[in-house]
């Protein structure tokens, strides 16, 4: 164990339990998306996440200024994202920051600094930031933000009051919102005054007593005590109404039976909550697209062919339902559109309930029109996979990039023994999905990317195909996310496009990116191995900058092991 001084950043989601209770699927999907934002900002500002639990994040920074900058960017980014949802479905973080002496043990941080940051987070407004006096002293003259002093606060399990400041967050019109009063009352100031004040106080009290007694004696007025006015409580937004239960599905006309799809399995990575039985919807896109069997997502290639020959030419009222894992069924020649919808959903759900993990079926098409409410799943740009012998190496679950330890154990137990073709897709926050027993490599890749993208709401990456890693899997440093040169804040803005272009041109072999204190990058391209790419990147960075460090290897953002 070692001690050190660090700026500790604590964040969690306000009202997370309520959000999950109202709509578990949508909340988990958005949590994954919002965590991608927070993790990316923490990495950009030189922070390190040392603990997570559900919706909570704990990170350390070497600089209080960078910690506050990071918190402000996170809150402004998430506030913009929340505008797409009704107020009752806003997912907003509270953030607390302090500077303290902490103990590091096995990568985790312990001590009063961590506890105080968590308590400050509890004092923060919804969507706001609360900092300690030590942080305020460090950043007050270095950042163009405003603070509101809320005084000393008594907080749970901390023996001494914590003097706290709220960061005033910017409104849409560019003005700053004054922080609301904290939920906990400030510590009352001591009633004991200076010694010289006592004689004056006694004299004033005596004179007041004489005056009041004389007044009551001569006027014989009855003095009544005024009732204390109660404080008006703020209105609480009512939660979104739960959706109505679906109408019973009619079990009338028979429909063409569709065989279940090739077996697949998927597993989200820790620390994400377990994948619910129903799928999490991808972002909504415009509807009313004309049905085309060759573009149906999730389903096997053979199913696309069958639907082209059976569903597309079918007459009467018809509908097609599916899940993001590829289970599907359709009903044709029904009495009306509603009957077609219900019959397709009922038959699809029978198949889905027999699969693991179980998923909820949704209507994809009615008649010749696509009505799927979530649009097409987000996909990475083509080509989805490049085979390169220089970077490929045998698959090992423990070396899977970004995936957390619990997920690696799951992969080790199931993936190597599964039938080919099989692949692993990962998301930027460590989520992963794998399928197996698919007819071709191309289909396995396509369906895995579609399922992963639909489940987490952002484009995923194929990292393994059958028995090999098909991307550079870093070993020297730890992969912590996807690297995107165009938006990486550690690289000076005027050089980001150049880095992106050079990486795209040098798309064979190993690559690495290093940056110095001034943000000027050095690249290692088309190297025969990981260490060679790192050495070249560091040497190139050292020619134009100082204090260089590697921030990316291949497609991954990296940090210390």
Q: What is the DSSP string of 107-141?
A: TEEESHHHHHHHHHHHHSPTT-EEEEHHHHHHHTT
Q: With 70 as the cut, is the pLDDT of residue 238 above it?
A: no
Task: Locate the domains of the chain by residue range.
Answer: 2-168, 261-282+378-471, 293-370, 478-559
Residue closest to 513 by CA, chosen among 27, 496, 406: 496
The 10s digit of each residue's pLDDT in 128-168 is 999 999 999 989 888 878 888 888 888 887 888 899 999 98
pLDDT in tens, 381-440: 999 998 999 999 999 999 999 998 888 988 999 999 999 999 999 998 889 999 999 999
pLDDT at 304 over 90: yes
Rounded percentage of the chain residues whose pLDDT exceeds 70: 78
Mean per-residue pLDDT for 31-40? 87
pLDDT tens digits, one per residue of 493-507: 999 999 999 999 888
pLDDT at 295 over 90: yes
Helix axes 441-456, 24-44, angle to 10 degrees: 90
Contacts of 93 by beta carbon, 8 Å cutoff, 6+ apart? 11, 12, 13, 14, 34, 38, 74, 75, 78, 127
Q: What is the pLDDT of residue 264?
A: 41
Residue 123 burial by CB count (10 A; 0-12/13-18/19+): exposed, middle or buried? buried
Q: Give the number of residues written for the chain.
A: 561
Token pair of 25 as six digits: 């699927």
| pLDDT for 177 | 53
Task: List pLDDT tens digits, range 165-188.
Answer: 999 865 544 444 555 544 444 444
pLDDT value at residue 346: 94
* Per-residue b or e along 374-413, where b marks 16 or more CB atoms closer than 10 Å to that residue's CB: bbbbbbbeeebbeeeeebbeebebebbbbbbeebbebbee
Pairing between strand 93-105 and 129-132?
parallel
Evaluate if residue 272 carries a pLDDT over 60: no
Q: Looking at domain 2-168, which of 3.90.400.10, 3.30.70.1230, 3.40.1000.10, 3.30.460.10 is its CATH number?
A: 3.30.70.1230
Distances (CA, A) of 268 to 67, 262, 355, 439: 29, 20, 17, 24
- The mean pLDDT value of the chain amounts to 80
pLDDT value, residue 366: 95
Edge-to-edge strand ranges of the sheet holding 393-394:
264-267, 432-435, 423-426, 461-465, 468-469, 393-394
For residue 532, name the pLDDT band (cuts at 50, 70, 90). very high
From first CA to last CA, the distance across the chain in angstroms is 17
pLDDT for 308 beyond 90: yes
Q: In the predicted model, is pLDDT for residue 370 greater than 90?
A: yes
pLDDT number for residue 361 = 94
Q: Is the pLDDT of residue 445 over 70?
A: yes
**pLDDT class of 226 with cuts at 50, 70, 90:** very low
Q: Residue 361: which residues within 8 A CB-CB, separation 6 or more?
A: 321, 322, 323, 327, 329, 344, 345, 348, 349, 352
Phi (first) and psi of residue 153, to 5 degrees: -120, 135
> What pLDDT is stored for residue 256 in this prediction?
40
Residue 283 has pLDDT above 80, yes or no: no
């Amino acid at each position: 164990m070692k001690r050190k001084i660090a700026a500790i950043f604590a964040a969690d989601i306000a009202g997370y339990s309520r959000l999950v209770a109202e709509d578990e699927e949508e909340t988990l999907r958005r949590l994954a998306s919002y965590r991608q934002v927070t993790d990316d900002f923490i990495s950009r500002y030189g922070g390190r996440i040392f603990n997570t639990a559900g919706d909570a994040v704990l990170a350390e920074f070497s600089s209080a200024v960078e910690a506050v900058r990071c918190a402000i960017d996170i809150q402004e980014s998430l506030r913009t994202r929340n505008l797409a949802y009704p107020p009752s479905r806003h997912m907003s973080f509270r953030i607390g920051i302090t500077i303290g002496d902490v103990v590091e043990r096995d990568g985790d941080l312990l001590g009063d600094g961590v506890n105080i940051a968590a308590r400050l987070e509890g004092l923060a407004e919804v969507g706001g930031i609360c900092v300690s006096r030590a942080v305020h002293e460090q950043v007050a003259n270095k950042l163009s933000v405003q603070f509101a002093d809320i005084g000393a606060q008594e907080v749970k399990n901390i023996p001494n009051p914590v003097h706290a400041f709220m960061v005033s967050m910017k409104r849409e019109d560019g003005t700053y919102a004054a922080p609301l009063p904290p939920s906990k009352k400030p510590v009352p100031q001591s009633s004991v005054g200076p010694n010289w004040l006592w004689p004056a106080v006694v004299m004033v009290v005596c004179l007041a007593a004489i005056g009041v007694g004389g007044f009551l004696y001569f006027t014989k007025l009855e003095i009544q005590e005024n009732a204390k006015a109660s404080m008006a409580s703020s209105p609480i937004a009512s939660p979104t109404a739960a959706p109505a239960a679906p109408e019973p599905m009619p079990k009338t006309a028979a429909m063409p039976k569709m065989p279940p799809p090739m077996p697949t399995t998927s597993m989200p990575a820790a620390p994400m909550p377990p994948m619910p039985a129903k799928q999490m919807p991808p972002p909504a896109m415009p509807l009313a697209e004309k049905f085309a069997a060759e573009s149906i997502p999730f389903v096997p290639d053979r199913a696309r062919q069958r639907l082209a020959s059976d569903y597309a030419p079918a007459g009467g009222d018809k509908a097609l339902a599916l899940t993001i894992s590829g289970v599907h069924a359709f009903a044709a020649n029904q009495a009306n559109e509603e009957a077609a919808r219900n019959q397709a959903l009922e038959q699809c759900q029978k198949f889905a309930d027999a699969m693991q993990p179980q998923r909820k079926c949704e209507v994809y098409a009615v008649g010749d029109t696509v009505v799927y409410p979530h649009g097409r799943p987000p996909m990475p740009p083509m080509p989805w996979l490049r085979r390169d012998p220089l970077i490929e190496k045998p698959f090992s679950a423990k070396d899977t990039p970004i995936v957390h330890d619990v997920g690696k154990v799951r992969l080790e137990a199931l993936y190597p023994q599964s039938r080919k073709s099989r692949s692993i897709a990962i998301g930027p926050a460590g989520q992963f999905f794998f399928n197996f027993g698919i007819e071709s490599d191309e289909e396995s890749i396509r369906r895995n990317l579609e399922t992963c993208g639909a489940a987490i709401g952002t484009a995923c990456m194929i990292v393994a195909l059958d028995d090999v890693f098909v991307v550079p899997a870093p070993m020297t440093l730890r992969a912590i996310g996807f690297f995107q040169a165009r938006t990486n804040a550690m690289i000076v803005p005027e050089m980001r496009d150049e880095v992106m272009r050079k990486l795209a041109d040098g798309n064979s072999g190993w690559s690495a990116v290093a940056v110095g204190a001034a943000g000027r990058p050095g690249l290692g391209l088309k190297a025969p191995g990981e260490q060679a790419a790192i050495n070249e990147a560091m040497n190139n960075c050292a020619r134009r900058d100082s204090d260089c460090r590697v921030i990316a290897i291949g497609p991954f953002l990296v940090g210390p092991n």
